[in-house]
Structure 1
Amino acid sequence: MTSRPTPPTAAQLARVQTPMPRAWPLLACSLVLLAALLAGSVPVAFSIATVFLFAGPHNWFEARYMLGRLPARTGKLRTYFVTSLLGILMLIAAFVAMPWLMRMTETIPDSAHWILVGWNAALVLWVGLLMTLRARQNPRRDWSGMLPVGLMLLAGIAIRPDLFSMALIYAHPLMALWLLDREMIRSRPNWRPTYHRLLALVPLMLLALGVWLWNAPDLPGDDSLTLAIRTHAGGEIFAGISTHLLVAWHTFLEMVHYGVWLVAIPAIGLRSKPWELATIPAARHSPNLRRWIAGLLLVGVLIALTLWACFLVDYGTTRQIYFTIALVHVLAEVPFLLRSL
């Protein structure tokens, strides 16, 4: 006999039907416009400031949100979550080892190219495996049409793995917007039409930055930090585009990403105050797990504070280390996004 789903409570119904506050669209527009203006005017300074202020806190809120969405028991989803975790760990280990491996094989022609091809191809295959597992779960999905897309991606990676890597850097901030949309389906469905109209601001601001800065001279400065920021935005790959524009584009998208995780998703997706554990299924399931989760979140706070201190001591080195470690949260977003589809 099949058990019926638990009907929503009055509080849950009220939450779903709550209209969007009138000031929110205006506030969102103002923040997006301000982010674009700062990214275009002072891209390097804005990049330094946003990473310093928001990198650690946004990772903490992202971890808190994901804990609230994990089931207390994996059950039939065990294979999916184990595959997700193993894939993340192996891809991180391979990513960290890549510079060493490139140095060890630098005498072999095109070795760096094929090492990068291998990592990017492994990422695509891992995502494809997760999509296959997700398609077999309820609600079932037919994603067979994505197979040709995956094969074309693998072919493109073999030719220009550096372009695929840059595509990931620019696409990652947009994943937060997609996750926010999926969260609205769950908890604020009547907000989605307004949200979708607000989304038009992102391509409009990218276009405006392009018109404004297309003929701008490259960013000055030969210090290691400025060089790293330019390289991270694709300055060495997109040689025909002003580095001023590239850094402005990338910094603007990163600021949108931080805004979603620090403001929008906590306001919509967290059903309690961030430090309250009652809405985390695993914490409700077991007192021991509750203590472990509380400890994990506390460690996250300490890491964010340590990150700020390290930024003050040596910003350049800390930024480089952070963006290597931050790949964990980039990869972790993939299985959560697929589960929400």
Structure 2
Amino acid sequence: MAKIELEKLVKRYGKVEAVKGIDLSIADGEFVVFVGPSGCGKSTTLRMIAGLEEISAGTLKIGNEVVNEREPKQRNIAMVFQNYAIYPHLSVRKNIGFGLYTSKMSKAEKDARIEEAGRILGLEAFLDRRPAALSGGQRQRVAIGRAMVRDPSAFLFDEPLSNLDAQLRAQMRIEIKRLHQRLKTTTVYVTHDQIEAMTMADRIVVMKDGRILQVGTPSELYEKPVDVFTAKFIGSPSMNLIGGRRSGDTIEAGSGGDILIGIRPHDLTADQGNPGARISLSGTVTAVEPLGPETLVHLDVAETPVIATVRDKRIPEVGTLLTCTAPPGSLYLFDARTETFLGRS
């Protein structure tokens, strides 16, 4: 295991600066997730840590040692890719142990590591099969097993679940998190899926345009986002944003104001006569999404799209007028000009 430190890290492709001098310290044994839209620099940063991309400027330390000039194999890290990168002509056993064949370990020690990885990942019964006989989730476990047997200082995951269906992604999220809790190996994980970030990370790093916007625990980013971008990116469905104005303790919705009012869909619920509501909005139902215990309702509120929640069995009809309220403490207030977070109300 090892601490990873990024100091003023820069990556340039010609005149284009893809990563713009970021600073970050990842603690020994921590699970950190980089999240952000396509092109934000998260995968480029991961590849610089791995040694697959040259560092244009700044310093990268792994285990308190500067590794800028070290080859990937000299950094004692293991990387798991999106496309598995396993060999179809080799058995699961040989795929998992592939990185050990040039090592100086005894055959008994190599076999013991492969067997242990197979046991931890639930692949014991599949060690002598070819990858073609495995499911997508099992193939991804083979790729993780190949990384595990090297006993690396850090695991690097580059969107490893993107090729899996929704059910397998949910299963693999839990398996990777349990694996980390067991091994305690420093882990850096890149994804564009904020649900993966929220459910797996000790800390999340939100990136945009090659810069780090915010670093914090999932609850910190959810409750106190630094700006509108982070607020909308973290949480599903995305946060509603409407114009408004503030006068003392009074918050009023309406265009042309000095603030933006953020309301998460689960906080904006169909009006049930809530006299203590912090805000009330009425709009025309444009679509509904029944989810079982609740229904997401899409509204047109003065030409602004808004998502609210109905928690009973009543499903509003498209075209009807629906009034929704949000309780005190549920509003996120942002400066309309700078889009920076002002606080909760």
Q: Same fold (TM over 0.5)?
A: no
Which structure's CA Rg is the greater one? 2
Greater relative contact order, per chain length (Cα 8 Å cut-off, separation 6+): 1
Bigger strand fraction: 2
User: TM-score with structure 1 length normalisation?
Assistant: 0.23
